[in-house]
Amino acid sequence: MTSLNSATASVRQTHVGGRALVRPTQESTSGRLAIAQKLLLEPFGLTDAALNRALGEITSYGVDDADLYFQYTRSEGWSLEEGIVKTGSFSIDQGVGVRAVSGEKTAFAYSDDISEASLLDAARTVRSISAASKAGRVKTPSRKIASSRSLYRGIDPIATLGSTAKVKLLEKVEKLAKAKDPRIVQVMAGLASEYDVVMVARADGTLAADVRPLVRLSVTVIAKQKGRREVGSGGGGGRFGLDYFDDAQIAQYVDDAVNAALTNLDARAAPAGEMTVVLGAGWPGILLHEAIGHGLEGDFNRKGSSAFSGRIGQRVAAKGVTVLDDGTIADRRGSLNVDDEGHASQRNVLIEDGILKGYIQDSLNARLMKVKPTGNGRRESYAHVPMPRMTNTYMLGGDRQPEEIVASIKKGLYATNFAGGQVDITSGKFVFSASEAFWVENGKILYPVKGATIVGNGPDALTRVTMMGNDMRLDSGVGTCGKEGQSVPVGVGQPTLRIDGLTVGGTA
């Protein structure tokens, strides 16, 4: 993870980042498909027949699977530093990716020229993955619209706030942060918006589309005291418009950033050694994402390179530990109506009460492992191949009060925020750097610490979970996951957790 970067009928209420949103129910599948066709096919003279001809060029060579992935992305960014909105950016990108799959092999080509000629050229290129063509004429499958969910409005978030209002929003962030404490000497803020429209045409005749808004507000402050400088950050976002960032939400992000920086001004060197570690709720779920989540992706397990390979049905975690990957949570940054292969997103139970139940799958690995796709086929853009990726990955809560869990520590670390880390998928070993942590003795938080590095083994750490809080919380909407050079937006979450016997590398 990179932290480590049509018709409406009724009204329903959802919660994002702890705040209720009231909004109409979402556009239908056919409505999103109409938007995608208007943006991605009609301007270039493409029809269903053209898509069938391109797919027919591939399937006539006896491949196991093939798809066309069209994408249109409009994005905008603003940033403030030293009291001035210094940069603004706007870009439009569009193109198509063409893929053929034969056995374990994938052939892929892409172009930013959306035309029938480009489609056919790409199709002829990727079909070479199969050695020989089929005899006779290939039958064109009947067209079918993929089932999908309606988890967010298909709006263009860039248009939900004017340019002047966007600048004033960033200026408000700086004013609030500077007013919080005279030790805040510098404020940096960023506002990003993206309107993403995708369409997938599969060899089996399936047609799917999604219209994906995405916004994020980021706040970073620097505090200075007696020559010492410390950084704090806050922010969040999701799949909605910029009107989500009202005064109360902005104030919360600023509070998070300022409090983190001021806390770290008083931080002491972190002790080192094997000890009890309590992880806070929400964003510390990044450790779960990296140390556990990646190890449960289908490609690693099919190849036998994950520490969880071949262990379905076995106990891999302490009793009470249940881990899900859920792409169906309304408005969340990691949620999808359909994945990038045209499959509806799902709520997948990966570990239930400590027992490994399954892996997250794209279509290729699901076929080879003789299971069904789980709605986790994701790609960074039309210029990338899909692979099994997480959406919103989190652990369900337990029955303990968070205060009770912290009070149970005789000597140990209470880590409430992380800057990043890395994991070795094969061994399960992870290393994470805590950006906000506290030293606890006899159940009392004594002082903040700096430079704490948490080292462990993912599968082993799951068996060492001894207490789970009743405060399960998702992160505020800032996660970006990196895998094999591709980045996609994700969510993480967990309750307050006590894990015994982790190694902490400190500076003391």
Q: Which residues are 365's β-sheet partners? A: none
pLDDT, position 21: 42
pLDDT, position 137: 54
- Average pLDDT over the chain reads 92
pLDDT (mean) for 145-172: 95
Q: What are phi and psi of 45, to 5 degrees?
A: 70, 20
pLDDT (tens digit per residue) in 97-147: 999 999 999 999 999 999 999 999 999 999 988 766 665 556 778 889 998
Residue 271: pLDDT over 60: yes
pLDDT (mean) for 224-232: 96
pLDDT, position 29: 84
pLDDT, position 134: 63
Distance CA 165, CA 158 (A): 12
Residue with tokens 């994950």: 306
pLDDT, position 3: 36
Residue 231: pLDDT over 60: yes
pLDDT, position 2: 34
pLDDT, position 426: 86
Structure tokens at 147: 């089932």
Distance CA 497, CA 347 (A): 22
pLDDT, position 198: 98
Residue 11: pLDDT over 70: no
Pairing mode, strands 144-145 and 268-269: unpaired
pLDDT, position 422: 81
Residue 211: pLDDT over 60: yes
Identify the band that residue 28 occupies on the pLDDT scale cut at 50, 70 and 90.
Answer: confident
pLDDT (mean) for 247-260: 98
Q: How many CB atoms lie within 10 A of CB 83?
A: 12
pLDDT (tens digit per residue) in 147-157: 899 999 999 99
Tell me the one-letter amino acid at 92: I
Those residues whose C-beta lies under 8 Å from the C-beta of residue 290, and which sit 6 or more positions away, are 1, 4, 421, 422, 423, 430, 432
pLDDT, position 419: 84
Q: How many CB atoms lie within 10 A of CB 95?
A: 19
Distance CA 480, CA 413 (A): 26
DSSP states of 88-124 as a string? EEEEEEEEEEEEEEETTEEEEEEES--SHHHHHHHHH
Distance CA 442, CA 365 (A): 49
Tell me the one-letter amino acid at 146: A
pLDDT (tens digit per residue) in 12-22: 233 334 444 43
The answer to whether 389 and 378 have CB atoms below 8 angstroms apart is yes
The answer to whether 159 and 145 have CB atoms below 8 angstroms apart is no
pLDDT (mean) for 217-225: 98
DSSP state of 106: E
Structure tokens at 133: 């063509």
pLDDT, position 323: 97
Identify the band that residue 434 occupies on the pLDDT scale cut at 50, 70 and 90.
Answer: very high
Identify the band that residue 460 occupies on the pLDDT scale cut at 50, 70 and 90.
Answer: very high
**Which of 223-232, 362-371, 412-421 is the least confident region?**
412-421
Residue 274: pLDDT over 90: yes
Those residues whose C-beta lies under 8 Å from the C-beta of residue 131, and which sit 6 or more positions away, are none
pLDDT (tens digit per residue) in 282-306: 999 998 998 899 999 999 999 999 9
pLDDT, position 290: 87
pLDDT (tens digit per residue) in 323-352: 999 999 999 999 999 999 999 999 999 999
Distance CA 145, CA 204 (A): 11
pLDDT, position 15: 39
Question: Which helix (H) or strand (E) covers residue 170, if one does?
Answer: helix 163-180
The alpha-carbon radius of gyration of the chain (Å, integer) is: 24
Q: What is the pTM of this model?
A: 0.92
Residue 9: pLDDT over 70: no
pLDDT (mean) for 246-267: 97
Per cent of the chain over pLDDT 70 is 93
